[in-house]
Amino acid sequence: MISFLKKLLTKGEDNKARERIFDVTKKNDGVNYIDDFIGLINLKNVHMTEVYKENEPCLYIRHDVDHSLEMGLKKAEVEAELGYKSTYFLLPTGSYGEEKNYYGTLEDGKIKYDSKLIDKCKRLLELGHHIGLHNDMVAMSLKLRKDPAELIKRELDYFDKHNIELVGTAAHGSPLARQLKFNNRELFDGCIRKGWEQGRTIEHNGWKVKLHSLNLSDFGFQYEAYSLPRDSRISESGGRWGGRILGNQIDRDKMFNDFNLEEFKKLISTLTPNSGVRAMQVMTHPCHWEVKENGNNQ
């Protein structure tokens, strides 16, 4: 497969200053994914599997792929061309009350996998990225009335058959999770939410799931994303920037209603090795981004 960015027209020595045929930009505010965002973070970029052992101030990038793996692949190509590595968390079919997504189709309580899913995953791996499970397994267990451990094992077996490793999990904030007041990461022992009862049972649809009942290591997962070290973070959940950078909470409403690109870039540029940050997490959702053609290129 020809690399997405082999078509780039380049000028100068700095890869991050390349003139591109197209860019990846955020839909509702125009933030350029590279030039206005991750390219301004002056921290060592590491995989999420490396955070625990990293001694230098670092950046790790997480993509929760709720709806658009195609857009995820676009971002993955841009990242790889410029030397960034990140992790793409894939959401099994069944969330948002939908029976079909890029992952596959839910039929008779089982997922019929999309015929292009494996090729897309292998492309992500070729580009140097990792793949994880966007964990909605408490909600799926309640919906399908099936043991969550069996559901996880089925997904792992499918990917393992194609020599694809799911390195970790990242909890999905599904509508059912909000309704029943649980977090999908609470399925695993040690993934604690302050102020919430450990080991409680969630009941729905005549089915029960006991939280904190499974071990990540039993499935070969190296981490749960929300349990990794991070003292600064930013995300665009729901299309709105939020998080906490160097101890300062981002005002989501203000940044959404009165967005100023230069102020945003100034904020991101504060993330340097000498700023005091130890581990910075960037989390994005590809569905909030789009490809923007650069009309001045031929």
Residue 47 is assigned to a structural domain of this protein: yes
Tell me, yes or no, whether 19 lies in a domain. no
Does some domain include residue 2? no
pTM of the model: 0.91
For 173-199, what is each residue's pLDDT tens digit? Answer: 989 999 999 999 999 999 999 899 999
Residue 176 lies in a domain: yes
The whole-number pLDDT of residue 104 equals 97
Residue 261 lies in a domain: yes
pLDDT of 19 reads 63
Q: Looking at the domain assignment, is residue 210 inside a domain?
A: yes
Residue 98: the pLDDT is 84
What is d(CA 284, CA 173) in angstroms, rounded to the nearest whole number? Answer: 14
Per-residue model confidence (pLDDT) at position 7: 35
**Which tokens hold the place of 115?**
């015929």
Q: Please count the structural domains in the chain.
A: 1
Domain around 223: 24-286
Which residues face 245 on adjacent strands? Answer: 248
Say if 206 falls within a structural domain: yes
**What pLDDT score does 295 carry?**
63
Residues of the chain with pLDDT under 50: 1-17, 296-298
In a domain, 151, yes or no: yes
CATH of residue 204's domain is 3.20.20
294 CB-near residues (< 8 Å, 6+ apart)? 19, 20, 21, 22, 23
